[in-house]
Amino acid sequence: MSTTIRAEAAARRTFAVISHPDAGKSTITEALALHAHVIGEAGAVHGKGGRKGVVSDWMAMEKQRGISITSAALQFSYDDCVVNLLDTPGHADFSEDTYRVLTAVDCAVMLIDAAKGLEPQTLKLFEVCRHRRIPVITFINKWDRPARAALELLDEIEERIGLRCTPLTWPVGPGGRFQGVIDRRGDEDGTQNAMAHFERTPGGTREAIETRLDASQARERFGEDYERAVEEVELLREIGATHDQKLFEEAVTTPVLFGAAVANFGVRQLLDVLIKHAPAATDRADIDGTPREVDAPFSGFVFKIQANMNKAHRDQVAFVRVCSGRFERGMVVTHAESGRPFATKYAQSMFGASRDTLDEAFPGDVIGLVNATALGIGDTLYVDKKVTYPPLPSFAPEHFATIRTDDTSKAKRFRRGIQQLDAEGVVQVLYSERRGDASPVLAAVGTMQFEVATHRLSEEFGVPTTLDHLPYELARRTDAESAEKMKRAPGAETFVRARDGVVLAAFLNKWRMQTVKTDYPGIMLEPLLAQAE
């Protein structure tokens, strides 16, 4: 059994796609699924031309705005491997959701807009990868449009984030005149400077037509564009910009590929690189730093909770990353936080909003446990030898608002909806003596989280709500004794977070916080995880 579990773990590739908004993240997610032949036709983010929206953007608000608001999991098989692809929100307001997803992956694909280069949210998400030592594969997207010079983009990556670039493909033709790529992986089999030429299919909804050309064929057909690409590839060889698997897994280097996700150019190459080079599931450290071996008895942790993903399935799903052992549907596991047994009768594999019954899973897989209302984000499940994985920290909120419903007949639904949003981590829900339980306070990293909360309360629970924004801009962790001392402090207010009972102190600004610290010496004020970290 141990050999089987290790073999199954070695066949898993679990990764997230990270980027700044509008870099093409949901498009590349669906393009990868298309090339793995698990969908027959790619949809446009906005459903143009009568096509369906991308499979990972299932929420009504996502379809309306054409952006990812919540993360989604897609599991599929490709080339004897099982791929667990996690699509993350790109917008900074949903950083907390993305951070939680990054705790569950073994690798990340960093998507960069070829015209814009590294953008603020990409940098922030990369810092999370750096902090967690997650290896990063870089895909420079939108090469079918005007773009910056390829070498300039590599320089920016190396200078701004310190990763050494080792391109595995190189574009033939400048941005906007994308002919194909020189596949540097061919250096290993004697087909140096071979080229993959791409032709877009009508509408771009199916795989691009790909023709492989040797050096002489490519030179004859694409002349100057090909010659310039070869010169740049020779320069890369001279400076040693060649893939080293060990340095990549140590998060020192990043393999780089070029393509155009919307036209399905270069996507197969990315998928092949993920299968060949992305790390497989391996031993994972528990809360004490002790590794839990992949072939130890089953264990996993909850990194996401989502309700009402499908109108036909109005239920709650806990997303669990399997860390060790073999999961079997129906097995009874232990909930580490409560010490109670937990039955796993309703286990499913996820593909966006679509779900299928799942009978078994192995390290690296993401499973959905349906109606697991006893589970919270960050909770650990295990069999046999006890293990607890590190808790998932919360971001420091920067926006606060009270929320209420004026329809008293829907008070019960309102409370249920608020509890659901809190359980999912859509927003942080706070309570205080000053305002009472009837007036919860929503705390968020960005104001769009408030929009999601009110939209879902209206659409899913039928409860109209009113928000009143509060003037606070930052929060710190405190304790009950300090909260009592600050009860009458001007420009400050203390709350209890519903999810975990943590006491938070909110301040008008950093200067007001400094004044309160001076006026009340000895109070406890500790930073939470900051958005920029």
Q: How far is C-alpha 342 from the geometric centre of its chain's CA atoms?
A: 27
What three-state secondary structure class fits 213? strand
Q: So what CATH class is 2-277?
A: alpha beta
Q: How far is C-alpha 118 from the geometric centre of its chain's CA atoms?
A: 17
Q: Kindly give the confidence (pLDDT) of every residue in the chain, 533 residues in length, as a single tens digit, with 9 standing for 90 and above.
A: 566 999 999 999 999 998 888 888 888 988 998 888 887 665 533 343 444 544 444 445 444 554 444 557 888 999 999 999 987 765 555 567 778 888 999 999 999 999 999 998 888 888 888 988 999 999 999 999 999 999 999 999 999 999 999 999 999 999 999 999 999 986 555 568 999 999 988 766 788 899 999 999 999 999 999 999 999 999 999 999 999 999 999 999 999 999 999 999 999 999 999 999 999 999 999 999 999 999 999 999 999 888 766 565 567 889 999 999 999 999 999 999 999 999 998 898 877 667 788 899 999 999 999 888 889 899 999 999 999 999 887 778 899 999 999 888 999 999 999 998 888 888 899 998 888 887 899 999 888 889 889 988 998 889 999 999 999 999 999 999 999 999 989 999 999 999 889 999 999 999 999 999 999 999 999 988 643 33
pLDDT at residue number 42: 54
The answer as to CATH 3.30.70.3280 being correct for domain 399-519 is yes
Contact 442, 450 (CB under 8 A): yes
pLDDT at residue number 475: 94
**318: which strand partners?**
305, 369
- Non-local (6+) Cβ contacts of 296 within 8 A are 324, 325, 384, 385, 387
Q: Which two tokens stand for residue 397?
A: 């909120």
Runs of H (alpha helix) within 295-441: 411-424
pLDDT at residue number 393: 72
89 is in an annotated binding site: yes
88 is in an annotated binding site: yes
b/e per residue 502-528 (b: at least 16 CB within 10 A): bbbbbbbeeebbebbbeeeeebebeeb
Question: Residue ranges per domain, the chain?
Answer: 2-277, 284-382, 399-519
> Rounded to an integer, what distance in angstroms lies between the CA atom of residue 303 and that of residue 88?
13
359 is in an annotated binding site: no
**108: which strand partners?**
16, 136
pLDDT at residue number 67: 47
pLDDT at residue number 181: 97
Q: Which fold has domain 284-382?
A: Rossmann fold (3.40.50)
Provide the edge-to-edge strand list for the sheet that holds 195-199.
169-172, 180-183, 195-199, 209-213
90 is in an annotated binding site: yes
pLDDT at residue number 205: 74
Fold agreement between 2-277 and 284-382:
yes
279 is in an annotated binding site: no
Q: How far is C-alpha 533 from the geometric centre of its chain's CA atoms?
A: 15
Strands (E), 214-343: 253-258, 284-285, 291-292, 299-307, 316-324, 327-328, 332-335, 340-343
**Length, in residues, of the chain:** 533
pLDDT at residue number 30: 86
CA distances from 116 to 22, 147, 158, 354, 515 (A): 11, 8, 16, 34, 41
pLDDT at residue number 89: 67
Q: What is the CA radius of gyration of the chain?
A: 24
- Non-local (6+) Cβ contacts of 34 within 8 A are 40, 41, 42, 206, 207, 264, 267
pLDDT at residue number 373: 84
pLDDT at residue number 46: 32
Q: What is the pTM of this model?
A: 0.83
